[in-house]
Structure 1
Amino acid sequence: MRPIYLPGSLRIGGGALDHLPKALAQAGLHAPFIVTDRFMAQSGVLERVLHLLEADGMAPRVFDGTVPDPTVAAVQAGLKKLKAGAADCVIGLGGGSPIDTAKMIAVLARHDTSPAALKFPHVQDAPGLPIVAVPTTAGTGSEATRFTIITDEATDEKMLCAGLAYLPKIAIVDYELTLTKPWRLSADTGIDALTHAIEAYVSKQANPFSDSLALSAMKLIWPNVATVCHEPANRAAREAMMLGALQAGMAFSNSSVALVHGMSRPIGAHFHVAHGLSNAMLLPAITAFSIDGNEARYADCARAMGIAEATHSDSDAARALIDALRARNAELEVPTPQSYGIDAQRWSTLLPTMARQALASGSPANNPRLAEANEIETLYRKVFDGAI
């Protein structure tokens, strides 16, 4: 028997944001603390949320100081502001960074500890304040997961924190909030969601419940991720991506991610590469490395994505998956670390540290093919300039 964990309630579809006040009221919540970033504050989305809540008689307070790859400093700044007034829940409004920041603030509001003390292998099940997630990108799936990732600036380590305390009580999943997202953000968050689905399915922690969600997510994401880049106002494609990202989040929250994510986090921490982009940089090469660990599962992915037919052998289907991932990266103009501008000498010098941090995160232990530290270093070298 395996426990399954999902958000307490979900509101999904165009216009779902308008139901935020009702969702809070149904949960008995009346004093929200909003955690977001300055882009949301300047774009008009925060203003819309404030208007909705104030029209319902609430007096929300706001922290808009979140940063990409959320840091301990940003969490502490938000926590200080939360404690300066009353709050009975924390709303994460934006992409993965505001939502992840909101999750940690919500936990620290009730527990006198630190992000470093909460990192894996610690599991934080004792709840903090209720978390309400309002994603504005179709990618991280954080609105449906029991994880958050916080960067320790002192050590340049992305700390994976896990437990039921980080699982949102409410998630508002409104694809209309993604209609204005630019190419790069659409591409990177889309590949992030695809990576969640693939890794959840091939993970050693996979189970029938997560499998069904992961396969469904792949079917939605693969044909639409390029479409939302080329046609940003395509509502059907945006809706499919939002639902696929949600399903992928639920899948890996009840299975796990694996080697791609384990290797991705150090790239973000040391070189400040957006999480979705670092996943995209890694996905083809790590998939090629991992296929021998469970060829049949990767073949299933290829068939679900429409890359291979049911009549294709597992071997042919799995190899077609690698080719398709490389081609999609080229189409979406995913850079290598080298072409992104990362210094080759610093990359090389940090390889042992990045490999150690990747393994310490725990995710690589779920990969179909286990990788030793020296193998991870070799993969980092190959990914750097795209030499596969």
Structure 2
Amino acid sequence: MVNRMILNETAYFGKGAIGKIADEVVKRGFKKGLVVTDKGLLEVGVTTRVTTILEEAGLAYGLFDGIVPNPSIEDVQAGIEAFKSAEADYIVAVGGGSPIDTAKAIGIIVANPEFGDVRSLEGEVATKKPSVPILAVPTTSGTAAEVTINYVITDKERQRKFVCVDPHDIPVVAFVDSDMMMGMPQGLCAATGMDALTHAIEGYITKGAWELSDMLHIKAIKIIARSLRSSVNGEQSAREEMALGQYIAGMGFSNVGLGLVHGMAHPLSAWYDVPHGVACASLLPDVMAYNKEKTGEKYRDIALAMGVEGAAELDLEDVRDKAVAAVRQLGIDVGIPQHIRELGVKEEDISAIAKDALIDVCTGGNPRDTNLADIEMIYRQML
């Protein structure tokens, strides 16, 4: 079997990493950038920290701040027009998963205009040309969009989210700067951090996992398990650790895929506008429990990484349950809802959202083959 590993050309880590942006722009000969961000980050001055660097270096840029959580086809198309109007030749994406995902779609379509409908990018699509160059500056420690070959767009008309997988979309440079993440409120920090844990766990047990990705995912689980609680409480050192942990998880799952947690989370965001990280975090323990019989010794490894006492000696059934319990307790500790009714899910919608989950591109990577009845069962038991 041939395994593939795709990563950024360059990535900078640590406090002050954004200071390298101007150097990279100049070195690469870029002329004018489009800064893609959201209004909230602009208003609180987070995006300004990046634009100030560009201004002080005498680098021209345009601004597109029309990004919203769960960005839509229409948002992407507006961003494409903004890129063209600015006469830009590269993108600086500043934000969490939504701005970076939107930037990827913009960059891909500008380079490959035949995909201008956006919908045709769903799944694994063989675009002919690499994206317009993207410099990614994450402001949350969870999605790892700055290092992945995936992005997710919402189709409002059809009330669904779809995943796009394309090696051509990966940002050329990532600036993983914990200073840019200090402004996260506790709820966002918790949700994105648990999203990172979901990436690491699903990446570790997915059907496509192999030794190199396993190494990355176990390390990511260890970092997140020891750092997330303190990161939610605002500790700078813990946010620095989470910035690294979520990136390491992204290095892995981007190359091997995910599973049923993400497959079931995407419809919740599309139907009820639930933040992606919250949806994943709520579903993770119950889907782990559903999968446990198909994971061999991997839940023991997860339990050890989570710091479960005696995990090395417990029998397999016990250690699997302990791993699930440890993940659930971490979610509870950082304030993640444990019932999807709290997210607005309605029982009468479950049959429909389960159908969307079954056909989601992530579901196929789940270690346990699933079906519509099982997905409905998990949703219902979580009400």
The 1-side partners of 2:134 and 2:19 are apart by 18
Which residue does 2:4 correspond to in 1?
3
The 2-side partners of 1:28 and 1:196 are apart by 35
The 2-side partners of 1:323 and 1:125 are apart by 45
Which residue does 1:82 correspond to in 2?
83
Q: Give the C-alpha shift of residue 125 in structure 1.
A: 6.1
The 1-side partners of 2:348 and 2:119 are apart by 25
Asked whether the equivalents of residues 300 and 312 of structure 2 are also in contact (C-alpha less than 8 Å), the reply is: no
Which residue does 1:267 correspond to in 2?
268
Which residue does 1:146 correspond to in 2?
149
Q: Secondary structure at the match of 1:252?
A: helix
The 1-side partners of 2:357 and 2:126 are apart by 18
* 1:292–1:147 Cα change, 3 Å: same
Letter in structure 1 aligned against 2:129: A
* 1:123–1:188 Cα change, 3 Å: farther
Task: Output aligned runs, 1:209-224, within 5 Å.
Answer: 209-224=212-227
Paired positions, count: 378
* 1:174–1:277 Cα change, 3 Å: same
Q: Are 2:165 and 1:162 equivalent residues in the alignment?
A: yes
Counterpart selection for 1:326 from 324, 328, 331 = 328
Which residue does 2:32 correspond to in 1?
31
Which residue does 1:317 correspond to in 2?
319
Asked whether the equivalents of residues 111 and 129 of structure 2 are also in contact (C-alpha less than 8 Å), the reply is: no
Letter in structure 2 aligned against 1:368: P
Q: What percent identity do the matched residue pairs reach?
A: 35
Which residue does 1:53 correspond to in 2?
54
Task: List, as ranges, runs of 4+ consecutive aligned residues in structure 1 with deviation greater than 6 Å.
Answer: none
Which residue does 2:340 correspond to in 1?
337
Deviations along 1:173-229, whole A, 9 cap, x unmatched? 001111221110010000000000001100110011111111110110011111112
Letter in structure 2 aligned against 1:323: A
Letter in structure 2 aligned against 1:310: A
Asked whether the equivalents of residues 134 and 171 of structure 1 are also in contact (C-alpha less than 8 Å), the reply is: yes
The 1-side partners of 2:123 and 2:351 are apart by 20
Which residue does 1:383 correspond to in 2?
382
* 1:312–1:141 Cα change, 3 Å: same
Letter in structure 1 aligned against 2:41: M
Which residue does 2:69 correspond to in 1?
68
Letter in structure 1 aligned against 2:305: A
Which residue does 2:361 correspond to in 1?
362
Letter in structure 1 aligned against 2:285: P
Q: Give the C-alpha shift of residue 329 in structure 1.
A: 2.3
Q: Give the C-alpha shift of residue 358 in structure 1.
A: 1.6
Q: With structure 2 as the length reference, what TM-score do the two structures score? A: 0.95
Q: Give the C-alpha shift of residue 331 in structure 1.
A: 1.7
Q: With structure 1 as the length reference, what TM-score do the two structures score? A: 0.94
Q: Are 2:130 and 1:127 equivalent residues in the alignment?
A: yes
The 2-side partners of 1:329 and 1:304 are apart by 16
The 2-side partners of 1:9 and 1:253 are apart by 16
Which residue does 2:198 correspond to in 1?
195
Deviations along 1:323-344, whole A, 9 cap, x unmatched? 112222222222222134x15x
Q: What is the alpha-carbon root mean square deviation over aligned residues?
A: 1.4
Deviations along 1:224-244, whole A, 9 cap, x unmatched? 111112x30x12211110000
Segments of structure 2 that go 5 or more residues without pairing to the other structure are none
